[in-house]
Structures are given as structure tokens and as C-alpha cells.
Amino acid sequence: MNTTHYMSLLMNNQPWNLIIFMAIPVICAEFLTITEFFIIYNKIEKGGIKALNKAIGIFDGIYFTIIFIYLMVNAVIPLTTTNGWHTWVDVLAVLSYLSGVIFLVPITLMELGIIFKTKSTHDKLKIHFILIGGFLIVAHVAMIFGMVNPQIINSMPGMKM
């Protein structure tokens, strides 16, 4: 079966690419989501769960920024300059995945006290929750379109498996 570059990335160098590019950032985001629910439901303002949530929020944004830069330099720019994309589905999968940086970087900056300094705790929680939700949406869009066989969109003779 022909695959998108997104899926090829995850399938190559098993299990390391899957862990590095999918498991770590998505598990961190899911962890943030679960702890957000716990923090909101129990009205937690301090303590271990809150500190762990903050640490993971900082880590995930920094980690994903490194992934973003790496994939832009080593995948997006070369594929674009050589016209190597496997149809629009391939582009959508990769760019959806990379757009996760739009959601994770503000979380990191907020947790580091660089942005939203004047917002109330409640407003920060709301922004945090929206940003995590946004990341999970684009990550799942990437996963869905990444699994599509690009050849069903357009015949692509000579496409590498």
C-alpha cells in the first residue's frame, strides 16, 4: 500500500520514530487533558497535580518545537522544493501534525509566565484547555489523513512504497 510521508515517518525506524514523533507529544497532551479535567473538577489551585500539569505543559511545548524545526528542515522544505508530496492528503497530514506547535508553544509560554500574565487563574485554565483541545484535534486530523492511501486521491506512478 502507498502511504503518506506522515505514516512513512511513523513506520520507519520502528519503534523509535513512533515513540519520538507520536507517542511522546500525544501522550503528554492527553496527560494534560486528563489533569486539566481533574484540576477543573476539583478546583485545584496548588499541589502535585497542578505542578505536574505545569511541568508537562512546559516540556511538551519545547519538545514539539524541536520536532517542528526538525521536520520543517528535513521533510517539509525538501518535499516542497522537489515536488515530492503524495497529493494534497499527504500535505494535509503533515501540516496538520506540524500545526500542533501553534497550540503547544502558547501553553509553554503561559506556564513560564511569558504570556497571559494579567489573566485570572480561571481565564488561564480556560485558555490552557482550549489550546490542549486544539492540539488534540490537529493531531487526530493528521492521524486520520496520514492513514489514507494517497493513490485513491490521484494515481501516482513511481511513488515509493
Mean per-residue pLDDT, 146-150: 89
pLDDT at position 155 is 62
Q: For residue range 35-85, what is the model confidence (pLDDT) as tens digits?
A: 999 999 998 889 999 999 999 999 999 999 999 999 999 999 999 999 999
User: What are 114's three cell numbers?
Assistant: 511569558
* Count of Cβ atoms closer than 10 Å to residue 83 Cβ: 6
- Quick one: pLDDT at residue 156? 54
Query: How far apart are alpha carbons 103 and 27 in whole angstroms?
Result: 15
- At residue 149, the pLDDT reads 87
Closest CA to 124 of 40, 34, 25: 40
pLDDT on residue 1: 59
DSSP 22: I
As a whole number, the mean pLDDT across the chain is 91
Whether residue 15 has pLDDT greater than 90: yes
Residue 115 above 90 pLDDT? yes
Q: Is residue 152 very low, low, confident or very high in pLDDT (cuts 50, 70, 90)? A: confident
DSSP string, 60-105: HHHHHHHHHHHHIIIIIHHHHHTT---HHHHHHHHHHHHTHHHHHH
- Percent of the chain at pLDDT above 70? 95
pTM greater than 0.85 (yes/no): yes
Percent of the chain at pLDDT > 90 equals 76
What whole-number distance in Å separates Cα of residue 4 and Cα of residue 111? 35
Which of residues 121 and 112 earns the better pLDDT score? Answer: 112
If DSSP codes are grouped into helix, strand and coil, which group holds residue 14? coil
What is the Cα 152 distance to its own chain's centre?
26
Residue 9: is it exposed, middle or buried by C-beta count within 10 angstroms (0-12/13-18/19+)?
buried
